[in-house]
Amino acid sequence: MREVTAAAFGASHQLSGGDPADARPPGGARPEVAARERGRTRHLARTDPGGCWIAQDEAAGPVGAVLSSRREGTWGMSLLAVAPGAQGKGVGKALMARALVHGRACLRGIICASRHPAAPRTYRRAGFTLHPAMRLTGVVDPAGLPPLDGAVHEGTARHRDLMDSVDRRTRGGAHGPDHEELPRHFRLFVVDDLAGSGYCYADDHGVELLAATSRRLATRLLTAALVGIPPGRHVRVAGLTAEQEWAVDVGIAAGLDISNDGYVCLRGMRPPNPYIPSQLFL
């Protein structure tokens, strides 16, 4: 499955005319990224076996894969990959159909689409609304960021109920068991005061997931995550719809570049706000 994913997204990058910085380095993804992808696959195969499928060719072996999940009425698809030689032959359509069956009882759906030209077409045909997305990239200039306007704490397992509550308010359904896998790969920042609550998963290369009950708290969390990145490190914050202008403003203050980033595809819901979707768990 790793080979299928690497081949599919390598081809996707070339077809979409992507930024060279997005391409996988020789030898594959960074070790920590590969570990997250393996962890995500094992986690979803355990929690959602009905939403995870591999397409196999008798001669060529695995040629496609899909990973999807159901969380309190919110269905998400975090991976749909088809090897270049199998594209255009109905493999992706068949995998998508299996994943959609897994989410047939869900009221809401979310997908972060790649920039491959076929991706938005496939998801629109499945009934999803396409919301153009942006990304922030570059090296953080902490001097441009204002001081935090309140406390940000290190998150622990005891914040699980808080995070599930914020998830329900922003995206309609808690991430639930995903909050067991994410801390294995990312630092967790939490805010919880009279103004509301929120959380953010981040590492030394950017933000993976952020949700809060107000833009003010979301701004505080994103600022804290960016300030904590080691100097000179190239960062990425992806999946920002127009509703996340608060995040774009933080990125501008930090000296980051803004560029197009495919689509956040939604069904039965408006863009969650304030919210930065997880590329692994949406």
Percentages of the chain per state (helix, strand, coil), in multiples of 5: 40, 30, 30
In a domain, 282, yes or no: no
In a domain, 167, yes or no: yes
* The domain boundary residue, chosen from 84, 105, 132: 132
DSSP SS3 for 125:
helix
* The domain boundary residue, chosen from 92, 110, 132: 132
Q: What is the pLDDT of residue 147?
A: 97
pLDDT digits (tens, 9 = 90+) for 116-165: 888 999 999 999 999 999 999 999 999 999 999 999 999 999 999 999 99
**Residue labelled with tokens 């833009």:** 215
Residues 32 and 157 in one domain: no
Q: What is the pLDDT of residue 135?
A: 98
User: Residue 230 is part of a domain; what is its CATH number?
Assistant: 3.40.630.90
Q: Are strands 108-113 and 74-82 parallel, antiparallel or unpaired?
A: parallel
Residues 117 and 147 in one domain: no
DSSP-derived secondary structure for 35-51: HHHHHHHHHHHHH-GGG
Provide the pLDDT confidence category of residue 23 given band limits of 50, 70 and 90: very low
Reported as type and span, the H/E element at residue 188 is: strand 187-193
Domain range holding 50?
Answer: 2-132
Residues 196 and 108 in one domain: no
With contact defined as beta carbons under 8 Å apart, do 108 and 172 qualify?
A: yes
pLDDT digits (tens, 9 = 90+) for 79-98: 999 998 888 889 999 999 99
The Cα 35–Cα 38 span in angstroms is: 5
In a domain, 213, yes or no: yes
User: Residue 20 is part of a domain; what is its CATH number?
Assistant: 3.40.630.30
In a domain, 281, yes or no: no
Provide the pLDDT confidence category of residue 227 given band limits of 50, 70 and 90: very high
- Give the chain's domain count: 2
In a domain, 229, yes or no: yes
Check pLDDT > 70 for residue 258.
Answer: yes
Q: Which amino acid is at 85?
A: G
The encoded tokens of residue 236 equal 């990425």
Residues 101 and 155 in one domain: no
Q: What is the pLDDT of residue 117?
A: 85
* The domain boundary residue, chosen from 75, 97, 132: 132
pLDDT digits (tens, 9 = 90+) for 27-64: 457 899 999 999 999 999 999 999 999 999 888 889 99
Q: What is the pLDDT of residue 15?
A: 41
Residues 66 and 30 in one domain: yes
The Cα 133–Cα 159 span in angstroms is: 29
pTM over the 0.85 mark: yes
Q: What is the pLDDT of residue 116?
A: 81
The encoded tokens of residue 138 equal 């570059």
Least confident among 4-13, 170-179, 227-236: 4-13
Q: What is the pLDDT of residue 61?
A: 87
pLDDT higher at 146 or 26? 146
Average pLDDT of the chain to the nearest whole number: 92
The Cα 204–Cα 97 span in angstroms is: 36
| Burial grade of 26 (CB within 10 A; 0-12, 13-18, 19 or more) | exposed
Q: What is the pLDDT of residue 79?
A: 96
